[in-house]
Structure formats: C-alpha cells, structure tokens
Amino acid sequence: MMDTGSQLPRRQESAPVARRLVALAIAFACLAGMASTALARPGQSGLGLGEGLLPTSPQWLLEESGGQGQRLFAIPDELAEIERLPAERRKRLKALIRERELDVDFVRRAIKATRGAVRGGRLHAKPEYMARLREIVIGIDRELGGSDRPLWQHEPILRALPAYTRIEIVAPAVYAERLRREVNRLGLRGRAQVRATPVPPESPAATRWIRDTVLVSEHGKGQALFRPLSYWPRRDLVADDLRYLDSLRQPQREIVAVPLFYRAGNFLLGVSARRTLFVGAQEVIDNEVVYRNTLRHTPRADTVLAVFSALTGADQVTLMPNTRRFYHIDMYMTLLDDGVAAVLDPLDPEALPDEDREALQQARNRLREHDYRIVDIPTLAERIAGFQSSTNIVPFRHRDTGERMALVPVYPDRQVRSGEQEVSLNALVDEAYRRAGITPIAVEDRFHISEGNTRCVVLQLR
C-alpha cells in the first residue's frame, strides 16, 4: 500500500505496470498448482528453514552502470581487474561489493534468528477471526505525524473499538507529545500508549500501513512478531527501515526479522479441513526481485512458500491472484470463520477490467477447492477502481461475549437496484455480513484515498 508520507510508490518496480501484470498472470498460472499442495516442514525434507535463500556459489556478477556504460564483473575472478581501474571507479565498485557482503551477512543472521524462533515447528498462528481485539498497533508516518490532528484518519477506528482494547501507537519521537495530546482529546488515556522511535522525521520510521509489516504467530505462552527484511525494497538491506518495530518487544513477545520481503496484507490464514495460508502471488515475485537486486540470486518459489508455512504453522500454502486494484488479497476477500470466506461480488461485473473479473473467479475456484463456503459481499466496479473494499475488514470475537464481529469500512454510499427498488449499497454490505453471522461495526473509512482501507492500518496482536 502507498505510504503517502514517503511519496514512494506502493511497489518499487523497474518494469512497467503492464509487464508486471503479465508476470503476475504467468507466475500465478505456473505456481498455483505447486503452492496449493502440502509443503514439507523444515527438517522433514532434510533441509533447514531458508535453505536456498543464500547463494551456494562464491561466484556472482557485479553490474556497473554509469558513464562507462553497462559492464558486468565476475566476482571474485575479476577482482584483480577492478584493482587496476581508476581510483573513483574502483572505489565505487568496491563499495558495491562491500554492500553485498553486508547484505549477505544480514540475511544469514535473519535465517539464523528465524530458525531459532520456529523452535522445531511449534509455531501456530491463529486465524485473525479468532483474535479478541484485545491489543492493536497503529502506525503514524511523517505525513500524519506532521498534521494538526495526527490521529484524524484513524479516529473512526479508534472510536469503534471495544472498550477493553489496548492501543499501541508507533511513531517518530518528534511527534510523540502531539500524539499524546490527541490521545487525551479522544478520551483514550490509560488505553493508548505512544511508542516513540528515536529517529529523525526524515528517516524511514513508521508507516500507517502497519498491518503489512508483521506476521503474528504464537509459541507456548509467548508471541513471535515476524517482520520482513525491509519495508521499501532497496539495494541496501542493512539500512533496515523496520528497526522501529523493536519497540513492541516484551518479555513474552519477540521481534524476528525474517529473511524474506513481504506485505502481510497479502496473507490470510484459515481452517477448513486443513490449516491453509492463502498468499497473493505477488509475494513470490517480490522476493525474486529483491533477492536479485541485492544478493544477485533468485530463491526458489517453494523455498519462499515453505518459510511462510513454517512461520504460521500452516499445513499448506495456496497462491491467490493479485492485480493492480487487488494488490493484496484482503482487497477482494476475507475469512470469517472456519470454512467460511467472504468475496467481493460486483453488481456490474461487465464494468470490471478482465484481469479483475478473472481474479475474482480464480479466487472463488480456489476457495471452493478447499471446501470454503463463500459469502458474497456486494460492490461496484467504481468502488473497486477507487480502492474501496468492503472485505478489508478487521474480524474478531468479542472478548466477553464470544460474539463474531468485525470492523467494516464504510464508504460514500451509492444507490443500487435490488429487485424493483433502489437500495443503499452500504445497507446491502451490512446485511450480507449479518446473514453470515457477523455483527458489523460500521467504520467511516478515511484511508481509501491513499489506496488502503481499515484492515491495512490495524495490526491485531491478540
């Protein structure tokens, strides 16, 4: 999702959008069959977790671009030739070599930490719909923190939370006092805590799209928060723009950097006959791109998916389609209970681009293959084009009553035809969730203008 505070694209890509979409379609077609089968847990296959993420050969190609044109150097074979180059050019190339060495070491340490956290396969993530909404995290980025009311976009969500929910707010330290005043103004004192990160506001700090940064799992009585190698893909992994998440560490909660790049909004864990982790196909492509740009190495898709399986304790991983508008699978589907999934159901499917219409059909087919009952959530092509998703919800069970509930984003209403009369689209969405046994809590969504919705900004810890 787009962090407007940094003015960076949602994905940093070298290929044009059309080429990326073609790559997505090919990847989904090629990988879906393999990925929807059970994956061996690390150790069962004789391989350790993350085996194959690092190159096994010392040989790699260093690409030089600039005034000399494009040139490839075989490392380490051509190190002597680099030593004979003019000083400035030699210095630049040796800096790139050192950068890669540091990146390899960074990934190696992440593999070791992740292997330690997995603890022989005892990790067991809960489906989000089983959580109690007892504790959440929200993130304040530079743009939000610098405004007069830094919690304005989050305010409808904060007001809709159960009275027992505790709120962690991660933000650059420079905005901490302003946020504490906002917490008091909203009557959240005692329930909300500001966790200030001591970095200058111009540095990578927090993001409002906090849900994308963490996969939550459990082991025994503790929790493991798994974060990717970085939030923004870049050549220099060691820069580590997710270090601020360490502020969430507790005696029973560890923060672990995973040796992969991912957006957790592209994951949904559910249970039907088996524990299935649904993953957007873009995650495989992103990891290939990041590894190729940093380590000059492309990991195998089954290795990437096996790590995701191990982090969540899933029995199998199933790839789901992504498109430009459905950049994460939670933009068109959600899981409501064991064996129950909600999927967007456009009332005007003919107005959708072919790729979106096909993605919805593919998603339905995959869910049915796993014995999911599908709940149709009405929408319009106009809403999909405007990133206004009624499946981007925060499902939970009330701590005290066990009632199945969800924070459901509400958008500017539209009148649509139902039978012989015009009715409210928002009312139809509400009715669809109630028929599925979910009590919807309507939340005015203030994030769709930035191409995200309610779930994107709420990290549910417990």
pLDDT band at 55 (very low <50, low <70, confident <90, very high): confident
Q: Average pLDDT, stretch 242-258? A: 91
pLDDT at 66: 65
**Integer Cα distance of 150 and 154 in angstroms:** 8
**Integer Cα distance of 49 and 44 in angstroms:** 10
pLDDT band at 214 (very low <50, low <70, confident <90, very high): very high
**Minimum mean pLDDT among 36-45, 132-141, 257-266: which range?**
36-45
- Start-to-end CA distance of the chain, whole Å, equals 23
**Integer Cα distance of 134 and 398 in angstroms:** 9
pLDDT at 73: 92
Which two three-digit tokens encode residue 97?
């070599």
Distances (CA, A) of 275 to 14, 21, 96, 235, 449: 35, 29, 43, 35, 34
pLDDT at 11: 32
pLDDT band at 409 (very low <50, low <70, confident <90, very high): very high
CB 108 within 8 A of CB 54: yes
**Integer Cα distance of 90 and 70 in angstroms:** 15
**Minimum mean pLDDT among 125-134, 280-289, 319-328, 416-425: which range?**
416-425
Tell me the three state secondary structure of residue 267: strand
- Tokens 């085996």 locate to 51
188 has a pLDDT exceeding 80: yes
CB 314 within 8 A of CB 277: yes
**49 or 291, which is more confident?**
291
265 has a pLDDT exceeding 90: yes
Asked, as a colleague might, if the bond just before 16 is cis with ω within 30 of 0, I would say: no
Element (H, E) at 309: helix 301-312
Angle at alpha carbon of residue 445, lines to 233 and 385, rounded to 5°: 65
**pTM across the whole model:** 0.88
**Minimum mean pLDDT among 14-18, 195-199, 365-369: which range?**
14-18
Beta sheet of 275-280, edge-to-edge order: 267-271, 275-280, 316-320
pLDDT at 462: 86
Q: Average pLDDT, stretch 366-389? A: 97
Nearest in space to 456 (alpha carbons), one of 27, 10, 142 = 10
Which two three-digit tokens encode residue 252?
């029973």
pLDDT above 90 covers a percentage of the chain that reads: 65
**Integer Cα distance of 222 and 267 in angstroms:** 22
Phi and psi angles of residue 285, each rounded to the nearest 5 degrees, phi first: -65, -45
The dihedral region occupied by 296, where left means phi > 0, alpha psi between -120 and 50, and beta the remainder, is: left
**Integer Cα distance of 139 and 242 in angstroms:** 12
Tell me, rounded to whole angstroms, the distance of Cα 125 from its chain centroid: 15
Per-residue pLDDT tens for 77-119? Answer: 999 999 999 999 999 999 999 988 998 998 999 999 998 888 7
Per-residue pLDDT tens for 303-312? Answer: 999 999 999 9
**Integer Cα distance of 376 and 289 in angstroms:** 35
